Amino acid sequence: MNFENTLAFAKALDQADELAAFRHEFLFPQQNGKTMRYFCGNSLGLQPVTARAALDAQLANWQQHAVEGWFTGQQPWMFYHKELKRLMAPVVGATEAEVCPMNTLTVNLHLLLVSFYRPDSHRFKILMEAGAFPSDQYAIESQIRFHGLDPAACIVEVSPRPGEQLLRTQDILDAIHDHRGELALVLFGGINYYTGQLYDLEKIAGAARGAGARVGFDLAHAAGNVPLALHDWQVDFACWCSYKYQNAGPGGIAGIFVHERHFDDRDLKRFAGWWGYEEERRFLMQKGFVAGAGADGWQVSCTQVLPMSLYHAALLQFERAGFMEPLRRKSMELTAYLYWVIGEVNRAAGSILFEIITPAAPAERGAQLSIVAKNKGKEVFDALVERQFLGDWREPDVIRLSPVPLYNSFEDVYLLGEALHDISSKLFAS
């Protein structure tokens, strides 16, 4: 599409947008009585207007039924997670049995590593991206130590080439091949939180399998942002949080994926709890753990009904939007427009004030653009916030902006460009 840098053009795109009405189903932050334009869905998605009622409904169930709520009421808590499984499966491209809502992301990563990182004297290495999100790095280091091994000897990091910011797919595949005899696990993010690069997960999964290693993905920045096909790609396991692109609220319930080919493997180690026990016989309270069917068998504690009600409300919006395909279609346009608009700001300034390090190709990124603002970056960011544009700031010089297809408009993007142009004309006046 040929973009234009006018408000009328942006409004025309919003007019034609079949998802435009969803914007009214979200609550936007306010600043000095003004509604903010929100570009921070990569960090915390906005509150759906339906969230409060969903939470209230469960508080009412608790009030009315108390302990009986596990088995009575409209959605007995005992089976409540199944309705979430139904809605989570299409978001990540899995069967219902392969996904389960539980805990929080890093906790789930640990639980899955217990099952799927089983180092032996031949295969003990974990291949990952350099610069992975710190929580993942800490989880992996501590898991390696838990096995009595040395992280320095076990972690293989794939880095961008000197002078480059992004990983080349071929370099990832080559690294997997080069270490094929020693790899126990390939563990990658779906989208890098810092650069916004979307990795070729299908190819990475294929290469890992070819190397005889297990493969797992942390989809914190990918789930609800880009279409995924975890089942078809034959990924061994994956985990994600729900509070970024899935709008389930701060500290929201997280999700796991375990491929069905592992369901019958009784030798898989796991850290068990009563809620992972076979559902039909859980309350017989017998000695000796028997894993429940599918991903549910990784549950440890009882269903966290209150946070799940928020995730449920948010997922119902995804369902009404038609899940990932229409969302991705709009997202690619929206982020392409942002990419172009920032280019216009640079063109008007006659120099690259804002260097976008996220891949230029829409297929290699999600909603987010990461922008290096070397000169007065923090001042630019603060000036944006003062004008009610909320993105996020990463030291030393990166502004992350994520237009989200469920609640951002082309008008948001146009106005952000206008503000950026105005701010830089003032800050960089020669």
Indicate the burial class of 265 (C-beta count within 10 angstroms; 0-12, 13-18, 19 or more).
exposed
Nearer to ligand PLP, 194 or 381 (CB): 194
Alpha helical stretches, state H, 155-196: 169-178
Contact segment (CB under 6 A) with ligand PLP among 156-164, 208-216, 217-225, 294-302 equals: 217-225
* C-alpha–C-alpha distance, residues 288 and 270, integer Å: 13
Q: Is 397 annotated as a binding residue?
A: no
Q: Is 242 annotated as a binding residue?
A: no
Closest separation in Å from C-beta 269 to ligand PLP: 22
Binding mask 37-66 for ligand PLP (x = CB under 6 A): ------------------------------
Closest separation in Å from C-beta 98 to ligand PLP: 20
Contact segment (CB under 6 A) with ligand PLP among 9-17, 65-73, 104-112, 281-289 equals: 104-112
Q: Check binding of 188 to ligand PLP (CB under 6 A).
A: no
**Out of 23, 123, 221, 365, the residue judged to bind ligand PLP by CB under 6 A:** 221
How distant is the alpha carbon of residue 295 from its chain centre? 19
Q: Check binding of 136 to ligand PLP (CB under 6 A).
A: yes
Closest separation in Å from C-beta 220 to ligand PLP: 3
**Out of 131, 189, 307, 377, the residue judged to bind ligand PLP by CB under 6 A:** 189
Task: Give which of 270, 307, 323, 309 is closest to 292, Cα–Cα.
Answer: 270
User: How big is the CA angle at 313 (ends 223 and 221), to the nearest 5 degrees?
Assistant: 15
Q: Which of residues 111-130 bind ligand PLP (CB under 6 A)?
A: none
Name the DSSP letter for residue 427.
H
Q: Is 134 annotated as a binding residue?
A: yes
Q: Check binding of 249 to ligand PLP (CB under 6 A).
A: no
Q: Decide: helix, strand or coil at residue 253.
A: coil
> Residue with structure tokens 């297990």?
214
Closest separation in Å from C-beta 137 to ligand PLP: 9
**Out of 98, 129, 218, 412, the residue judged to bind ligand PLP by CB under 6 A:** 218
Contact segment (CB under 6 A) with ligand PLP among 5-13, 133-141, 202-210, 285-293 equals: 133-141
- Other Cβ atoms less than 10 A from the Cβ of 280: the count is 9
Closest separation in Å from C-beta 76 to ligand PLP: 28
Task: Give which of 393, 400, 389, 403 is closest to 195, Cα–Cα.
Answer: 400
Q: Check binding of 104 to ligand PLP (CB under 6 A).
A: yes
Q: Is 232 annotated as a binding residue?
A: no
Nearer to ligand PLP, 265 or 395 (CB): 395
> Residue with structure tokens 């944006």?
384
Q: Is 105 annotated as a binding residue?
A: yes
Six-digit token pair at 424? 């830089």
**Out of 5, 58, 61, 106, the residue judged to bind ligand PLP by CB under 6 A:** 106
Q: Which long-range contacts (CB under 8 A, 24 or more apart) does 142-146 make?
A: 143/110, 143/113, 143/114, 143/117, 144/119
* C-alpha–C-alpha distance, residues 16 and 1, integer Å: 14
Indicate the burial class of 340 (C-beta count within 10 angstroms; 0-12, 13-18, 19 or more).
middle
CB 358 within 8 A of CB 426: no
Six-digit token pair at 233? 């790609």
Half-sphere exposure of 246 (CA within 13 A, CB side): 37
What residues make contact with ligand PLP under the rule CB under 6 A? Answer: 104-106, 133, 135-136, 189, 193, 218, 220-221, 241
- Known binding residues for pyridoxal 5'-phosphate: 105-106, 133-136, 218, 221, 243, 274
